[in-house]
Amino acid sequence: MKLVAICVSLLLNFSAIAQEKPYYYQIPAVPETFTAASVAARMVDGLGFRYFWATYELNEKDLAYKPSEESRTSFETLEHIDGLTKVLLNAVNKKINTAGGAKEKLSFAELRQKTLEQIKMASDVLKQPGTDLEELKMIFERKNGNKEYPFWNLVNGPIADALWHVGQVVTFRRSSGNPLPKGVSVLEGIKSE
């Protein structure tokens, strides 16, 4: 009898865990107030939602797809998006973007998870009370001194560029025969079941 109770308890716990949806399965709830930082966080959350679904259940054929010899594959595009979200995360954490170093070799699953985590961490920083966007600079290490940009350039640079490239991934996956799952609404930030 004790064994049956343990098994039932485990099944209920696994069932509850399975029902939890990963972050960016849907867009988080709207902030309570409009501030520059809450609007920026919402833009970042929109990127996370779009990225989640653009990369959902991509297969090897999708990842290898590229529309021409000169263009990137979908996987190479995802690596670029990862780099852009790293710049975003560094900016909100007041860290310098350094050049060089060995490029990480990640599987698709690892790359997807890393990118989603970077997006989520950046959003979380932006949602902190008292966040002042004027203090969040995008800084690049250069041989002759660091180059610094205000948050405005982060918006029209890496954030907008990442959104642009997520759109490319959506187009590429359609072209390779794997369109977005039905029910994904970028307007509402939800996936209807």
What distance separates the 2 farthest-apart alpha carbons in the chain? 73
Q: Is the pLDDT reported for residue 9 higher than 70?
A: no
Q: Is the pLDDT reported for residue 60 higher than 90?
A: yes
Spatial separation of the C-alpha atoms in residues 6 and 29, rounded to whole Å:
36
List the one residue out of 41, 43, 123 whose CA is nearest residue 89. 123
pLDDT of residue 94: 97
Spatial separation of the C-alpha atoms in residues 112 and 114, rounded to whole Å:
6
Spatial separation of the C-alpha atoms in residues 88 and 118, rounded to whole Å:
8
CATH 3.40.1500.10 fits 2-191, yes or no: no
Contacts 24+ apart (CB under 8 A), 86-90: 86/118, 87/138, 87/154, 87/157, 87/158, 88/44, 88/118, 88/119, 88/122, 88/154, 88/158, 88/159, 88/162, 89/118, 89/121, 89/122, 90/138, 90/139
The ranges assigned to domains in the chain are 2-191
Q: Is the pLDDT reported for residue 159 higher than 60?
A: yes
pTM (two decimals) = 0.88
